[in-house]
Chain A
Amino acid sequence: MARLEELTFSDRLFVKAYRFRSFDWSPGARLSKPLSESRLALISSAGLHLPGQAAFDLETRGGDWSYRELPATVSVEELKIAHRSSAFDQGGAREDRNLAFPLDRLREMAGRGEIGAINHRHFSFMGSITAPGRLMAHSAPEVAEKLREDSVDAVLLVPV
């Protein structure tokens, strides 16, 4: 497991002083069918975007809280990475995007019947958000609404 000691000194100081937010999700949702019949969606915080989409804004104060929709048909190697965190070593994900956005793996699992289907769209955020107010008020509820529209049964979220 990664440890906080891996972070730079200034990042560690920040994490120590920062008041982490949480959000009351109770009572929690339940999977309504077996995984082999479930439609899955993927959410990444690696700042991935399509070549034709605007990159995430690395200068936004408090962090860019917008998101990008990634179609299930995308070839993962095409995805660009726009992320400002110094803690995120992008080397691995540049070599293999599945390290942060394992869409090929989910496709294979759907092909083998381990999961029912992958959704027609997935979502990407840039995780380096220190002021998550607008993320919570706007982007996250919008994405939740889209996932409900798509009748997604479960969501796998991958931080970097």
Chain B
Amino acid sequence: MCHQSVGLIASVIEKSGIPTICLSLLREITEKVKPPRALFVPFRIGYPLGEPHNADLQHRIIRSALTVLEFDNPLPVLRQFK
């Protein structure tokens, strides 16, 4: 249900004029809620930034997410973290 809440909050903020990017651990749910931008990350529930105390991995995930904000592609955009 976290994915629904986050997707809905993102949608409301986006509608108010501020661009948003959501991380997502559960593609099935994010595809139903359809927030404007999401980055799917290949980790288990509770671990959206990958691993505890792995600053390098956490940075790469954030960078990858923020890059989605720079695209001028049609929305919604759903990308996969690699």
Mark A residues whose CB is within 8 Å of B.
Answer: 1-4, 6-7, 15, 20-31, 34-35, 40, 43, 45-46, 63, 85, 87-93, 95-96, 98-100, 102, 104-106, 108-109, 114-115, 125, 127-130, 132, 135-136, 139-141, 143-145, 147-148, 152-160
Contact = CB atoms under 8 A, between A and B. Distances in A.
B49 interface: yes
Interface in B39-67: 40-53, 55, 58-59, 62-63, 65-66
Nearest to B61: A102
Contacts of B8: 21-23, 132, 135-136, 140
A82 to B, nearest CB: 14
Interface in B1-54: 1-29, 32-36, 40-53
Interface of B: 1-29, 32-36, 40-53, 55, 58-59, 62-63, 65-66, 69-70, 72, 75
A88 B3 CA distance: 12
Contacts of B12: 23, 25, 136, 140-141, 143-144
Contact of A25 (B15, B32, B42, B62): B15
A28 B5 contact: no
Nearest to A127: B2
B42 A1 contact: yes
Given A22-B32, A135-B5, A157-B9, A144 B18 contact: yes
18 contacts: A1-B27, A2-B26, A4-B26, A15-B28, A20-B29, A25-B14, A28-B36, A87-B46, A98-B52, A98-B58, A106-B62, A135-B8, A144-B13, A153-B19, A157-B10, A157-B22, A158-B23, A159-B3
Given A2-B25, A20-B33, A109 B18 contact: no
Contacts of B59: 105, 108-109
Q: Which 4 A-B pairs have the closest CB atoms?
A: A127-B2, A96-B52, A159-B2, A140-B12
